Amino acid sequence: MFCPKAQATHPNGAKPVRMLPMTERNTVDLAAANSRLNQITSLFEDNADAAFNVAYRIVWNRADAEDVVQSTFIQVYLKLDQLQDKSKARSWLLQIAYRQALNILRRRKDEPTDPADLPDRFTSDDATAEPTLQKDLRLTIQTAIDHLPQNLRIAVVLRDVEGLPMREVASVLDIGQSAAKMRVTRAREQLRTELAGLI
Amino acid sequence: MDCHELEANLTEFLEGELSPQEEKAAVEHLATCQHCETVLAETKAVVATAAEHGQEELDPQTRQRLFQSVLDSSNQ
Ligand SMILES: [Zn+2]
């Protein structure tokens, strides 16, 4: 704790010699904590939606996807010091979210995991949506993305929805860059076929 | 470059990864082939639509709640 009296008396007193390094160390700790707080705040601001987006496309319900976001950023906060290259923060944390979402999927054996097996997401998840909204561009592309097989779906979400460079898509999915490119290519082809005449 | 080659290289073309010669060949093919021009335009439309409308977003309250719980968990 900061102690102005100890600091003020330090030049003449005997005991403050011990107090001052304490104060300095606490100031350093405080600065480090503030810096970590600033980092996690901006990482969350910039990437929480992306993490949610990736997780939701795997676990297919908002509550589980929200849990993924929470546990992802808790891990990120704990491991901030391990992040040497700030430019890799986004793919690093999206990879954590991706793996956690896959873990939830593995633990959940009895529930449908393929969107084709689920009731229509826009009537089950969003009660306020009108059936006419099905014609809306947003729902059209969302539904088309839902229909993709998971490996293509996550690749195209990362590349085209989240705008990650192809090398970061590969890094999140832990696959080679040409494999990532192949998945994105096949996803776009399927979306193009499904959306033909609609966009 | 023919239609098959163009479609096989479409992603590299869009990523700007083709060699200058390949890129020139692709552009020349696109200028003369209605089919490939359509494929390219539709693919670009898919990418643009996905970028603009593909995001599932957290609602602001949930966002705030999740962020707070991240901070709380780290202060324990
Ligand atoms: Zn052609």
User: Which is nearest to A59 in space by CA: A120, A123, A137, A111?
Assistant: A111
CB contact B72 to A (< 8 Å): no
Average pLDDT of the segment spanning B38-52: 95
Instruction: Provide the residues around ligand 1 (an ion) whose CB is within 5 A.
Output: B 3, 33, 35-36
From ligand 1's centre to the CA of A73, what distance in Å? 47
Q: Which of A58-67, A136-145, B11-20 has the lowest mean pLDDT?
A: A136-145
User: Which is nearest to A144 in space by CA: A184, A188, A191, A189?
Assistant: A191
Q: Using an 8 Å Cβ cutoff, are A60 and A143 in contact?
A: no
Question: Can you give the pLDDT at residue A11?
Answer: 43
Question: Can you give the pLDDT at residue A139?
Answer: 87
Where does the pLDDT of residue A193 fall: very low under 50, low under 70, confident under 90, or very high at 90 and above?
A: very high
With CB atoms and an 8 Å threshold, state whether B15 touches A199. Answer: no
Residue B38, domain extent: 3-74
Q: Using an 8 Å Cβ cutoff, are A170 and B57 in contact?
A: no
From ligand 1's centre to the CA of A128, what distance in Å? 44
With CB atoms and an 8 Å threshold, state whether B66 touches A66. Answer: yes
- Please say if the pLDDT value at position A124 is more than 60: no
Residue range(s) occupied by CATH 1.10.1740.10 in chain A: 25-122
Q: How far is B42 from chain A (nearest CA, A)?
A: 6
DSSP string across B4-43: HHHHHTHHHHHHT-S-HHHHHHHHHHHHH-HHHHHHHHHH
Question: Can you give the pLDDT at residue A187?
Answer: 98
For chain A, give the percent of residues with pLDDT over 70.
74
Q: Mean of the per-residue pLDDT values for chain A?
A: 82
Question: Can you give the pLDDT at residue B76?
Answer: 63
- Please say if the pLDDT value at position A1 is more than 60: no
Q: Which residue has the tokens 């966009």?
A: A199
ipTM associated with this complex: 0.93
Residue range(s) occupied by CATH 1.10.10.10 in chain A: 123-199
Q: Please state which CATH class domain A25-122 belongs to.
A: mainly alpha
Least CB–CB distance from A195: residue in B46, B63, B67: B46
A175 vs A198: CA distance, rounded Å = 32
Number of Cβ within 10 Å of residue A171's Cβ equals 20
The residue among A111 and A9 whose pLDDT is bigger is A111
Least CB–CB distance from A66: residue in B43, B51, B62: B62
Least CB–CB distance from A142: residue in B51, B54, B71: B54
* Tokens matching residue A167: 């090398």
Question: Can you give the pLDDT at residue B7?
Answer: 94
Q: Using an 8 Å Cβ cutoff, are A191 and A148 in contact?
A: yes
End-to-end CA distance of chain A: 61
- Please say if the pLDDT value at position A189 is more than 80: yes
From ligand 1's centre to the CA of B16, what distance in Å? 19
Q: How far is B5 from chain A (nearest CA, A)?
A: 14
Where does the pLDDT of residue A24 fall: very low under 50, low under 70, confident under 90, or very high at 90 and above?
A: low
Give A58-106 pLDDT, tens digit per residue.
999 999 999 999 999 999 999 998 888 888 999 999 999 999 999 999 8
* Chain pair A-B, CB pairs under 8 angstroms: 99
For chain B, give the number of residues.
Answer: 76
From ligand 1's centre to the CA of B28, what distance in Å? 10
Q: Which residue has the tokens 């705040």?
A: A41
- Please say if the pLDDT value at position B18 is more than 70: yes
Number of domains in chain B: 1
Q: Please state which CATH class domain A123-199 belongs to.
A: mainly alpha
Pick the residue from chain A with its C-alpha nearest to B47: A160
Question: Can you give the pLDDT at residue A97?
Answer: 98
Average pLDDT of the segment spanning A127-142: 64
